[in-house]
Each structure stands twice: as structure tokens, then as C-alpha cells.
Structure 1
Amino acid sequence: MAEQRINLSGLWLGSYSYPNGLGPTTPFLATLQDHDGALSGSIVEPNTVGRSSEQLGAILSGSRTGSSVDFTKVYDAESDAAHAVDYVGRLSADGNTISGVWSLEDMDGTFEMYREAVWEEQAGREAEVVKLG
């Protein structure tokens, strides 16, 4: 049986965390384009490092091979965070979740991201639990 090709293109919602509570868990919105495993796109997240704007924008580029996902997030030069962050993760079997680690110089942390539809479904389930409680 041939391996199913999962395309990662689309809207992804996620968050990243700092090691040892050194910073806030930060949500982000990623728009991915997957061209036969070559990844490109953009990321928007709250500005937690400065005061130039409420949000930070970044360009994403990388690759996907099988279930391995590797990309670099490069913040735009006009923001408070003009640097690059490397992400290495693993794609879930259903192709709807990517989780792994990020690294910047001598610091690293974890991240997780979900396709928009999966995020909305999870939020809906949590809302139902709250109503039932």
C-alpha cells in the first residue's frame, strides 16, 4: 500500500513554551504552504518582548520529510524580536498536530500546533464540558 501524502498547507494554531518558566506560554497563528515537503509561510504572535507593536510577524521556511517537520521562524526586521528560531517537530499520524522543540542560541523550549479545524473542535468540546460542569 502506498504511503498517504499529507499536505500541511493551511491555517495552524499553536503555542510555544519557555524552559523552566522563563517566559510566558505564547500563542501563535501560522499559515503554511506545503509544496511537496518544502514549507513556507508566516507566523503572527503577541509581542511579549518589547513595545513596538502588539504583534510580531515572522516568515517561516523549512521542510517536511515523512513525519519529521523542521522549520525556521525569522522575525521581520522591524519588530522587537529581529532574530531566527529553529523548530523541529513530529507530525501526528492523522496529520493534524505537530509537536516538538524550538531552539534559539543556548535556549530551547517546546511547541505544539494544530490545524484550525482541530483547534475549533477541541475548543467546542471544552465548552461542552464547562456547560455540563
Structure 2
Amino acid sequence: MTEESELLTGDWLGTYYYPRTLEPVAFEASLIEFDGILTGTTSEVFPLPSHGERKIQGHLDGERSGDAVRFSKVYVGASGPHRREIFYAGTIWDRSTRIEGTWTLANSWSGVFKMTRIRQKQASFRRRLFEEIKA
């Protein structure tokens, strides 16, 4: 069983990379791990070539087994190519503070992703800063 301090529950910053010439996309994730089951949400600003940028949310479901994670992401309310489920498989590193692996869009593209845990102080600072910016 995973020690409490090594659970993946918390806030994460990440980047996923395309296999082609498209720019990498940064994302934020909030994960909850309970008894090997992972769930969570993502938020990212996706570049649209002719339309600028669009913020999209995603929902994650998956599992953890030791240092391995597998989960899928489905964008909420998405249209077009963003309606398809994306599969992730990765390895947990550095006492559960980093995840690296690959993502796959079935019968289509795949690439690399990396995630780093946000320390609690950083997370509360970011939330406070975000609230000040919104006001």
C-alpha cells in the first residue's frame, strides 16, 4: 500500500508534447488517489491556429500500481477531434513528485507527457494570485 505522503492526490503542472511540429501544451491537473484508483480534472489553454486560444477542461480516470500509472482523459463539452478519449501511461519518480510517460489518441497520434507536483505552499500562492487577477 502507498504511504499517505506518497499518494498522488494534489495539484500538478504538466506539459504534453506532439510528435509533429505543433507546440507543446501546458496543463494543470488536480488528482485524487484512493486505494489505487485515480480521478481528477485538467485545465489547459489549447492553441487554435485560426481562432487564437481556447481553455478546455478534462476529466481523468485511471489507476496506480506501484510506480506505474494509467489513466484516460476526456475533454468536457468538447467538439471535433477533442471528443475522443486520450490514454496515458507513465512512471512515477522522485517520491511521487514527478510523472513521465506517453499519451495516445487511439489509431492516431501519440507523444510524451511530463507532470510535476505543486507543493502546497505553491498551490495556495497560485490560487491566491489567480483570485487577485480575477478581481
TM-score range, shorter chain: 0.7 to 0.9
CA distance, structure 2, for counterparts of residue 75 and residue 103 of structure 1: 14
CA distance, structure 2, for counterparts of residue 67 and residue 102 of structure 1: 17
Q: Deviations over 1:61-104 (max 9, x none)?
A: 00000000000010012456222110000000411000000000
How many residue pairs get aligned? The number is 116
Matching residue of 1:128: none
Report the CA distance between 1:4 and its aligned residue.
Answer: 5.2
SS of the residue corresponding to residue 23 of structure 2 reads: coil
Matching residue of 2:93: 92
Confirm or deny: 8 A CA contact 1:52 1:79 kept in the other structure: no
Normalised by the length of structure 2, the TM-score is: 0.77
State the AA in 2 paired with 1:20.
R
CA distance, structure 2, for counterparts of residue 38 and residue 49 of structure 1: 33
Matching residue of 2:64: 64
Structure 2: which 5+ runs fail to align?
A: 123-135
Structure 1: which 5+ runs fail to align?
A: 121-133
Which of 111, 118, 122 in structure 2 is aligned with 1:116? 118
Normalised by the length of structure 1, the TM-score is: 0.78
In structure 2, relative to structure 1, the CA distance for the partners of 1:52 and 1:78 (3 Å cut) is: farther
CA distance, structure 2, for counterparts of residue 7 and residue 19 of structure 1: 30
CA distance, structure 1, for counterparts of residue 17 and residue 54 of structure 2: 19
CA distance, structure 1, for counterparts of residue 46 and residue 68 of structure 2: 28
**Once superposed, which parts of structure 1, at least 4 consecutive aligned residues long, lie more than 4 Å away?**
49-53
Between the aligned residues of both structures, percent identity stands at 31
